[in-house]
Chain A
């Protein structure tokens, strides 16, 4: 066991830049993802509605595809972060 402590580099109490980035990215991604998913559910209901117009149903399918792509991208991003960090 060593007997004397070694000097340590000063630790910043708050890194405002990182904090701002965390807040901005979390707000954008968190809200964005939930919003896209919610809109995707609405699009799905249009796509499955037999009485809706062909245009509505096509737009609904497009919405579902965009949502699926968005969710898949975020999941891939999540896995990337999990595997990259220590």
Chain B
């Protein structure tokens, strides 16, 4: 089916999702680096953004399937993709507002599943795939990260106990910058490719690109460039609310804990990816930070904040799915083109409202490192209690 207008909307929505993915997941790479003062906030996000661009160009083996093994691939259409993106964008913006680190990939899966349910019903969804690729890794990821980061923190503290504070802090900060770079490149490669895959699939579905079993479609250069720029821009904007939660809200990080958390996250993500068990970057990063808090004597983990984060993880799939289903229903009522425009306007209005509200209680590079009280908003924020 050729519908260039809907194709343009899908490509636009995919790039907006990529942008939200960038600012939502910046925290995974840089939150401990900023929290411990290894890099200044603006320098940290700029460094991460540049390495996201590098990562996006490093590998072009695109996972050209959306929610592979989650939904029936041959039933995926442009309106379903658009509905899925609408759900994911909405959930990313909402969780950013509340400063909650949640998985952008799971939000996209939820959105696509919701749109698929609204389109063809339960036959279009592979429920066992959801269990195997979302729920089980969702439980495994933080547990492994807590174990690795916790033990790494214990050993690192023991190994450097005789060093003076200045040497230890300086050395660990250098290590943090290296680990943060590795995380940024890995995230740039992984997540930018997902959007490249979505756009490539949309181009194939629309007949703009030809893809056969013998000669699969290659990703056009402009798609690679656009995805890299969108994600890097989002990263550079900096999701300061989530950076603050991950850097200060879960526990207090010093440079030793920060290095242990970031290096553990990088190793777990790269190892799991290499062995074929893809784990969420967000879940691993959050688990690593909690692990350092658990392993440090006299340092408490804010379990109420951790509980809110886990709650967000649990409702990501159904919430994004609900928006995805509503978006698809809207497209069905108003037609593919009109519906996509209407849904796009509703999502844009919602995002603008949330952004306007966020300006009243601002978290930015200037106050991101203020001491954590009980909420993501620091004391200096105008609307903080």
Contact = CB atoms under 8 A, between A and B. Distances in A.
A52 B106 CA distance: 55
A72 to B, nearest CB: 10
Interface in A20-34: 21-23, 25-27, 29-31, 33-34
B271 A29 contact: yes
A22 B1 contact: no
B128 A25 contact: no
Contact of B55 (A15, A23, A40, A82): A82
A10 B62 CA distance: 24
B1 A1 contact: yes
Contacts of A5: 72, 74-75, 120, 123-124
A74 to B, nearest CB: 8
Given A14-B132, A18-B275, A38 B147 contact: no
B287 to A, nearest CB: 11
B42 interface: no
Contact of B266 (A12, A44, A78): A78
A83 B74 CA distance: 29
Contacts of A44: 167, 171
B61 A86 contact: yes
A4 to B, nearest CB: 8
A81 B274 contact: yes
A6 B74 contact: yes
A11 interface: yes
B381 interface: no
Contacts of B367: none
Q: Which of under 10, 10 to 19, 20 to 34, or 35 or more describes the interface residues of A?
A: 35 or more
Interface stretch (B153-161, B298-306, B354-362): B153-161
Nearest to A34: B152
Contacts of A79: 58, 185
Contacts of A75: 178, 182
A39 interface: yes
Contacts of B185: 78-79, 82
Contact of A30 (B72, B263, B274): B263
A13 B132 contact: yes
Interface in B184-230: 185-186, 189, 193
A8 B58 CA distance: 32
Contacts of A18: 275-277
Contact of A38 (B160, B182, B274): B160
Interface in A59-85: 71, 74-75, 77-79, 81-85
A31 B1 contact: no
B314 interface: no
Nearest to B58: A83
A65 to B, nearest CB: 16
Contacts of A38: 155-156, 159-160, 256
B319 to A, nearest CB: 24
A86 B69 contact: no
Given A6-B72, A11-B126, A38-B159, 16 more contacts: A2-B75, A5-B75, A5-B124, A8-B69, A11-B129, A11-B132, A13-B128, A25-B271, A35-B152, A37-B263, A41-B167, A41-B171, A74-B267, A78-B270, A82-B55, A85-B189
18 contacts: A5-B72, A5-B123, A12-B132, A13-B131, A14-B136, A15-B277, A23-B147, A26-B271, A29-B267, A30-B148, A30-B267, A31-B148, A31-B152, A33-B263, A34-B153, A42-B159, A45-B164, A71-B178
